[in-house]
Each structure stands twice: as C-alpha cells, then as structure tokens.
Amino acid sequence: MRRRRFAAALLGLALVGAPPSGAQQLPPASQVLTLDQDRLFAESRFGRSVTARIEAETQALAAENRIIDTALEAEERDLTERRATTDPEVFRALGAAFDTKAEDLREAQKAKGRALNRSRDDERQQFSQAVGPVLAALMAEKGAVVILDDSAVVLSFREIDVTDEAIARLDAVLGDGTTPRDGVTTPVPQALPVPVPAPLVPQAPPPEPATPDPATQVPAPQP
C-alpha cells in the first residue's frame, strides 16, 4: 500500500506544471538513460538464436533420456524373466554388469546437461562483453553519465529509453552469433549422438571337461 501511495505521489508531482494536452513537449537531453536488459537479450538476433538453440538441445537431451530409460527398463524386465533359468553365478554377473552400464549412461546424460548449462552461461557472458562497448558509445553520443535498468525506475520519459537503439547496434555487431562479425564468432554446436544401451548377452558357464570313453582309449604300450 505504501509503495502504491509513493508511486501515485510521484506521478502527481510529475503532472504538476505539465503542459496542456494539446502542447506536446519533449524532455531536454538527459544525463540518465534507461534500458530493458531482459528485452535487450530476448529481442536481439543473438539472444533469439541462443534461446532457440538451447531450447532445441534441451528437448533433444530430454528425448535421449527417455530413450535410454525405456531401453534400460526393457532390459531389466528381460533380465528378471531369465533369472529362473539362468545359472546363479551368471545371473549375478549379468546383474552387476547391468547396474554398471545403467549408472554410466545416466552419469553421461547428467554431464551433457551440465555442459549445456555451461554453454548457455558462456553465451550470456559473450553477450555481456559485446553489450559494454555498445552502451558506452550510446552514452557518449547522448551526453549521458549513467544507464539504469528500467525495472529500477519508477517513472521516466519514454525518450530516454535506449533499448531499441542498443538492440539494433548489437545486431550489427553480433548478428545471430553463428557467423564472424568484428572478430566475434560463436561456434555452431554439433548434434550429439543418442546412446542406446546395448542388451547384455548372458555368458554361459564354461563347459565341463569331457569324460574319456574307455572303449575308445588306446592302451599305453607296455615297456
């Protein structure tokens, strides 16, 4: 409630002394500019490209996980059904091999998820590095001394928002991030192969040595 009263009071002060509705008056050049940082990334070509790629890779990773889980569940059911007809020693070896394989596959998928998160963070870092010079040039051109995020501003003139200008300039510098521009290049990631678990092949116990047939044995020569 206090915040609403404070905003209303500020709006009232801003309207005091305002020109009549028919007299449009623009603000003088301001030393303060505002910027929508979220829109700066989301609406730039680079930001749209990164967002689309991350979403596509996230969906692909989720599809891989579903394939692996389905294959492991089927293999586990098959292994359980063979338990009654499999030698206990062989079954224990098969079970241990299955557990190891399942754990390795799941760890590999988790590693892919972490790599995807690092890739997204790296892209945002690259974007932030490109934003600095662009905003500095805008400040110099407009004679401003500071750019504030518009989420921290209660009331301002629309004319001091430089988001659209910043987006246009970033598009000229970065493009969509997949081609070299001013020495900046973002490599296009290659699709990762989908690991499909190979079924475990039961190992048969070693054959017992054959008992020699006395009828076919040749007697050793007597000295």
pLDDT score of 161: 85
- Answer whether residue 90 is part of any domain: yes
- Answer whether residue 108 is part of any domain: yes
- Answer whether residue 188 is part of any domain: yes
- Mean pLDDT of the region 23-49: 78
Range of lowest pLDDT (43-47, 74-78, 197-201): 197-201
- Answer whether residue 11 is part of any domain: no
pLDDT score of 29: 58
Give 79-135 pLDDT, tens digit per residue.
999 998 989 999 999 999 999 999 999 999 999 999 999 999 999 898 888 888 988
- Answer whether residue 12 is part of any domain: no
DSSP-derived letter for residue 183 is: T
Question: Where does the pLDDT of residue 191 fall: very low under 50, low under 70, confident under 90, or very high at 90 and above?
Answer: very low
Is the pLDDT score of 190 beyond 60?
A: no
Its domain, for residue 183, covers: 27-194
What span, in angstroms and rounded, lies between the C-alpha atoms of 109 and 7? 49
Is the pLDDT score of 180 beyond 80?
A: no
What span, in angstroms and rounded, lies between the C-alpha atoms of 171 and 62? 31
Encode 164-202: b = buried (16+ Cβ within 10 Å), e = exposed. ebbbebbbeebbbbeeebeeeebeeeeeeeeeebeebee
What span, in angstroms and rounded, lies between the C-alpha atoms of 163 and 44? 10
What span, in angstroms and rounded, lies between the C-alpha atoms of 220 and 223? 9
Mean of the per-residue pLDDT values of the chain: 74
- Answer whether residue 43 is part of any domain: yes
- The residue ranking higher by pLDDT, 223 or 122, is 122
Closest C-alpha among 189, 27, 49 to residue 112: 189
pLDDT score of 177: 74
What span, in angstroms and rounded, lies between the C-alpha atoms of 102 and 72? 7
- Answer whether residue 74 is part of any domain: yes
- Answer whether residue 217 is part of any domain: no
Closest C-alpha among 71, 63, 64 to residue 98: 71
Domain count across the chain: 1
- The residue ranking higher by pLDDT, 145 or 26, is 145
- Mean pLDDT of the region 148-166: 77
Q: H or E segment at 168?
A: helix 163-174
Question: Where does the pLDDT of residue 146 fall: very low under 50, low under 70, confident under 90, or very high at 90 and above?
Answer: confident
pLDDT score of 63: 96
pTM given for the model? 0.60
Other CB atoms within 10 A of residue 53 CB: 20
Out of 5-9, 97-101, 200-204, give the one with best mean pLDDT.
Answer: 97-101
